Amino acid sequence: MQIQIFQDKESLHRAVAQMFIEAVKVKPNIILGLATGSSPLETYENLIKDHKENGTDYSEVVTFNLDEYIGLEGSHSQSYRYFMNTSLFNGLNIPLGQTNVPSGTGDVNETCEAYENEITNAGGIDLQLLGIGTNGHIGFNEPGTPFDTRTHVTALTQETIDGNARFFESADSVPKKAVTMGIQSIMGAKKIALIAYGSKKAAAIRDMVNGPITESMPASILQNHPDATLFLDEEAAALLKPQ
Ligand code: GLP
């Protein structure tokens, strides 16, 4: 794993956005894996700003998002489909039909299989963006998820429900289940960029980088990825062993 530590959030987001912009320029029909949560928001703002100012072209790009809450329609303001449309896709020239977010309604088991096939048929993910939960989850792969899972339905832990409650009226209105790309699906990406900032993420970052590779710390599997880069601020990096 490569680790980049930034003094402020602004330069962190600029660096991640630059990685994505360069990748889109090199391969206009790139397959991007995208994430939700607060971590990537300003990176997305940077991508939109660059698209408007410099005309970076997303017309051939295809995207796959990591996850979606079960039970929320794409029109629900807390669904990840809605988040992606309003935080990124509507600001770029990407046709919405080329953007994939797993559906949280209908036959979800069918969705899981179809989603995995679509990623494979598209040629696999070239560049995957990740955030990390305070318990080390990536996508919605909670601690204990087997490393060989592909897209599947999962129950959220109370820690994740509480962590995401800030986006809902109360913890009670956070869905208890989600559909998520699995650890194996994520590890199949050719290149991975993970964003983490703030002291709340410091213990998870320490454990994923310096701890053992274990299913109880899902992000620790990234130690085995050949091309993963962590984009951290000083607070998130504070507990790391000196390199
Ligand atoms: C959710 C998402 C994850 C994300 C995590 C962290 O659980 N499913 O993909 O990494 O939240 O969220 P935040 O970036 O808001 O800290």
Could you tell me if residue 64 is inside a domain? Answer: yes
Q: Model confidence at 6, in pLDDT bands (50, 70, 90)?
A: very high
pLDDT in tens, 226-236: 999 999 999 99
Could you tell me if residue 240 is inside a domain? Answer: no
Could you tell me if residue 68 is inside a domain? Answer: yes
Could you tell me if residue 242 is inside a domain? Answer: no
Residue type, 68: E
Whole-model pTM: value is 0.96
Could you tell me if residue 139 is inside a domain? Answer: yes
Q: Which atom of ligand 1 is nearest to the CA of 36?
A: 9
pLDDT at 54: 98
Classify strands 177-180 and 152-155 as parallel, antiparallel or unpaired: antiparallel
Output the residue whose Cα is nearest ligand 1's atom 11.
37
The average pLDDT across 220-242 equals 97
Q: Residue 78 Cα, ligand 1 centroid: separation in angstroms?
A: 13
CB of 94 within 8 A of CB of 58?
yes
Q: Model confidence at 224, in pLDDT bands (50, 70, 90)?
A: very high
Q: Residue 130 Cα, ligand 1 centroid: separation in angstroms?
A: 8
Which domain CATH number covers 13?
3.40.50.1360
| Substitution candidate for ligand 1 out of 9, 16, 36 with most atoms within 8 A of CB | 36
DSSP code per residue over 74-86: TTSTTSHHHHHHH
Ligand 1, pocket residues at CB < 6 Å? 35-39, 66-67, 131-133, 139-140, 160, 164
> What range defines the domain where residue 214 resides?
2-233
Strand partners, 2: 229
Mean pLDDT score of the chain, rounded to an integer? 96
Q: Residue 162 Cα, ligand 1 centroid: separation in angstroms?
A: 12
Could you tell me if residue 239 is inside a domain? Answer: no
H helix runs in the chain, sequence order: 9-26, 41-54, 80-87, 108-122, 158-164, 183-187, 202-210
pLDDT at 148: 97
Q: How far is CA 224 from CA 147, 218, 219, 228, in A?
A: 11, 12, 10, 9
Output the residue whose Cα is nearest ligand 1's atom 1.
37
The radius of gyration of the chain from alpha carbons, rounded to an integer in Å, stands at: 17
pLDDT in tens, 166-200: 889 988 999 999 999 999 999 999 999 999 999 99
Query: How many domains does the chain contain in total?
Result: 1
Please name which of 97, 75, 102 lies closest in space to residue 86, comparing C-alpha atoms: 75
Q: Model confidence at 57, in pLDDT bands (50, 70, 90)?
A: very high
Q: Model confidence at 243, in pLDDT bands (50, 70, 90)?
A: confident
The average pLDDT across 57-68 equals 98
**How many alpha carbons fall within 13 Å on the CB side of residue 44?**
22
Could you tell me if residue 163 is inside a domain? Answer: yes
Please name which of 211, 184, 242 lies closest in space to residue 3, comparing C-alpha atoms: 242
Could you tell me if residue 169 is inside a domain? Answer: yes
Q: Which atom of ligand 1 is nearest to the CA of 38?
A: 15
Dihedral angle sign, alpha carbons of residues 29, 103, 49, 2: negative
Residue 115 CA to residue 121 CA, distance in Å, equals 10
